[in-house]
Every structure is written in structure tokens, then in C-alpha cells.
């Protein structure tokens, strides 16, 4: 899971960046689900699940983190808050 804070005036750009990320993860066979969401006017997040730990590591070393590293300084108010979580139950 990652939470990001948009720079003032960059909220729509962060929205668009995350929306475009869907096409990138579509090519990741080990990424089972990928959600981009908005928490508040300036706070956004990503929640994703993976088929295996290897798939998670491939994602973390893939195109989305690379794009975030490249575009983040122009869009985000700070570093993304990334937490590796372990699901306990799913419906």
C-alpha cells in the first residue's frame, strides 16, 4: 500500500498519473488486483495484491515505482508512504 500527498495545484495531475498506472500494471501477470484511490482533496493511494512474494518484488522493481520516482518530485509534496502489508482475510 502506498499513500501520496499531491503538491498544491497538482491534484488533477496525480489523479491522471494514477489513472494511467492501470495500463502499466495490466502487463504484470503477478499483480492480481491494483486499486488507485483518493482519500482527500490532496491525498491519494494505491492498494495492490500479488500472486506471490516474487510477483510483489517484481512489481516493486517495475514500471510503476520507476514512473513514481521520475514524476514524483514534480507532483508530490513528499516521499510516498509505502507499507508492505499482509492480508489476513478476504471476502
pLDDT digits (tens, 9 = 90+) for 12-69: 999 999 999 999 999 999 999 999 999 999 999 999 999 999 999 999 999 988 999 9
Task: Could you list the beta-strand ranges (E) of the chain.
Answer: 2-5, 31-38, 43-50, 81-82
CB 58, CB 30: distance < 8 Å? yes
pTM of the full structure: 0.91
Amino acid 82: pLDDT: 93
Identify the sign of the CA torsion 24, 91, 54, 48. Answer: positive
Amino acid 6: pLDDT: 98
Amino acid at each position: 500500500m502506498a499513500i501520496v500527498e499531491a503538491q498544491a495545484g497538482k491534484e488533477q495531475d496525480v489523479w491522471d498519473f494514477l489513472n494511467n498506472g492501470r495500463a502499466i500494471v495490466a502487463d504484470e501477470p503477478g499483480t492480481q488486483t491494483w486499486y488507485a484511490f483518493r482519500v482527500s482533496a490532496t491525498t491519494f493511494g494505491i492498494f495492490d495484491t500479488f500472486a506471490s512474494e516474487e510477483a510483489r518484488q517484481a512489481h516493486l522493481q517495475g514500471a510503476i515505482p520507476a514512473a513514481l520516482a521520475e514524476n514524483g518530485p514534480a507532483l508530490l509534496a513528499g516521499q510516498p508512504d509505502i507499507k508492505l502489508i499482509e492480508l489476513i482475510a478476504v471476502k
